[in-house]
Each structure stands twice: as structure tokens, then as C-alpha cells.
Amino acid sequence: MGLSRRRFTREFKLEAVRRLETGASVAEVARAFEVDPNVLHRWRREFREGPGNAFPGLGKRRWEESQVAQLERKIGQQALEIDFLKGCLQRIEEQRQLQAVTGKPLSTKRSKTRGTETKP
């Protein structure tokens, strides 16, 4: 008769990893939880690779594809925003340098009809 494989809950694994993270030795935690030290090393590695993603349980996908796609879109959007703002800062810096060289403030273009009404 063979030995059956033990199954551990997510909470059990998280508690073991928490004890490791608070400074307890692997040997102490292995004895307390009655698991092999190599299992603890694997659990800690999985937790560090992605805390919200560790120990998904019964066939549950680690990251839903739609969530990954959504995050990738958000990263792309933020990259575009960063590039736009970098360009704005570069133009501002160029204007400041030009102002420092010429010694006079740069004028801004404003419409001359602003604030005036046309008569019929």
C-alpha cells in the first residue's frame, strides 16, 4: 500500500512562509509544520516570485489572460504618457535656455481680438 500525497491549503503555506520571513529557520518551521525543508524553500520562492499569484489551488489559473492583457494595455498607455511629458519638458527646457541666452522673456502668442467685440 503506497503513501498518499499530502495536500496543503493556501493558508497553511502562507503561514509557513510568514514564519520564514519573520526570521525563523527553515529547520524550525519544517519541524513545526511537519514538512520537508525543500518544500519550504519552494513555497518561499513561489511566494517571492509573485505574492498575489502564489499557491493558486485546485487548477485555478495563476493570472487570467484578460487581466494580463489589461495590465499590458495600461503599461502601454503609461509609456505613451511618459513620452509625451518628456517631450513637453524638453520644449520647456529649450525655451528656458533660449531665454537665458537672449536675456529677455519669451512672448507668448495671443490673439489680438481677444476681449474685443466686433461691431456690425
pTM above 0.85, yes or no: no
Average confidence (pLDDT) over 84-107: 89
Confidence of residue 4 (pLDDT cuts 50, 70, 90): confident
Q: Which three cell numbers stand for residue 24?
A: 525563523
Whether residue 14 contacts residue 55, with contact meaning beta carbons closer than 8 Å, is answered with yes
* pLDDT at res. 107: 63
Q: Which three cell numbers stand for residue 15?
A: 503561514
Range 10-15, long-range pairs (CB < 8 A, 24+ positions): 10/55, 10/56, 10/57, 13/43, 13/47, 13/54, 13/55, 14/47, 14/54, 14/55
pLDDT tens, position by position, 5-49: 788 888 899 899 999 999 999 999 999 999 999 999 999 998 888
Which of these, 14, 13, 41, lies nearest to 27 by C-alpha position?
Answer: 41
More confident residue, 54 or 114: 54
Boundaries of every domain in the chain: 9-62, 63-101
Kindly report the CATH number that applies to the domain delimited by 9-62.
1.10.10
Within the chain, what is the greatest distance between any pair of CA atoms? 104
* pLDDT for residue 50 is more than 80: no
More confident residue, 6 or 117: 6
* pLDDT at res. 70: 87
* pLDDT for residue 77 is more than 90: yes
